[in-house]
Structure 1
Amino acid sequence: MPSHLSPTARAAAGTLLASAALLLSAGLAHPAPAAAAPVPAPGAAHATAAVLDLDGGGRTPVIHGEDRTYDTASIVKVDILAALLLRAQDAGRPLTAEERKRAEPMIRRSDNAAANALWREIGRAPGLAKANKRLGLTSTTGGPGAKWGLTRTTAGDQIRLLRAVFDTRGTEPAALDAESRAYIRGLMSHVAPEQTWGVPAAGAKGSPRVLKNGWLQRNTTGLWDVNSIGEVTVKGHRCLVAVLSNGSASMSDGVSLVERTARAAAE
Structure 2
Amino acid sequence: MFFLATVLDPIGRVRGVLREAAVESVAVAVCGVGAGQSFVYGDGAYETASIVKVDILAALLLRAEDAGRRLTARERAYAAAMIGHSDNDSASALWRSIGGADGLDAANERFGLRDTVGGAGALWGLTRTTAADQLLLLRQVFGGDSRLGEASRTYLQGLMGRIAAGQDWGVSAAADGSAWALKNGWLPRGTTGLWVVNSIGRVTAGGHDCLVAALSNGSATKERGIALVEAAARQAVSAFRGSASPRD
Q: Provide TM-score, normalisation by structure 2.
A: 0.86
Are 2:64 and 1:85 aligned?
no
How far residue 266 of structure 1 moved from its aligned partner, in angstroms, is 1.1
- Partners of 1:251 and 1:43 in 2: how far apart? 16
Instruction: Specify which structure has the higher proportion of strand.
Output: 2
* 1:201 aligns with one of 163, 167, 173: 173
Q: C-alpha distance in 2, partners of 1:89/1:265?
A: 34
Please report the RMSD computed on the Cα atoms of aligned residues, expressed in angstroms.
Answer: 1.1
CA distance in 2, matches of 1:126, 1:61: 29
The answer to whether residue 87 in structure 2 is matched with residue 114 in structure 1 is no
> Which amino acid letter does the alignment assign opposite residue 62 of structure 1?
F
1:193: Cα distance to partner? 1.6
Find the counterpart in structure 1 of residue 196 from structure 2: 225
Which of 98, 115, 119 lines up with 1:139 in the alignment? 115
Name the aligned partner's letter for residue 33 of structure 2.
Answer: L
Q: Could you give the per-residue CA deviations for residues 48-104 of structure 1, whole angstroms, max 9, x where no partner exists? A: 10000235x40x52102x211000000000000001001111110000011111111
Residue identity opposite 1:106 in structure 2: M
Give the equivalent residue in structure 1 for 2:27: 48
- The answer to whether the Cα contact below 8 Å between 1:43 and 1:249 also exists between their aligned partners in 2 is no
8 A contact 2:138–2:211 mirrored in 1: yes
- Matched ranges for 1:62-101 at <5 A: 62-64=39-41, 66-101=42-77
Counterpart contact for 1:142–1:150, Cα < 8 Å: yes
Deviation of the 1:136 alpha carbon: 1.3
8 Å Cα contact 2:160-2:183 kept in structure 1: yes
Whether the 8 Å contact between 1:165 and 1:176 is mirrored in structure 2 is yes
Equivalent residue runs for 1:5-20 within 5 Å: none
Structure 1 unaligned spans of 5+ = 1-41
- Equivalent pair of 2:180/2:204 in contact (CA under 8 Å): no
RCO comparison, higher one (Cα < 8 Å, 6+): 1
What is the CA deviation profile of residues 196-228 of structure 1, one whole-angstrom value per residue up to 9, with x for unaligned ones?
A: 100011122x13231000000000000000000
Q: How many positions carry a matched residue from both structures?
A: 218
Alignment match of 1:214 (pick from 168, 178, 185): 185
Deviations 1:101-155 (A, max 9, x none): 1111000000000001100110000000110111111110000100000000000
1:161 maps to which of 122, 137, 152 = 137
Aligned equivalents of 1:207, 1:112: Cα separation in 2: 26
Which amino acid in structure 1 is aligned with residue 39 of structure 2? V
**In structure 2, C-alpha distance between the alignment counterparts of 1:183 and 1:150, rounded to whole Å:** 26
Structure 2 SS opposite 1:194: coil
Say whether the 8 Å CA contact 1:86–1:131 is kept in structure 2: yes
CA contact (8 A) 1:217 1:225 kept: yes
Amino acid at match of 2:67: A
1:178 aligns with 2:150: yes
- 1:264 CA displacement: 1.0
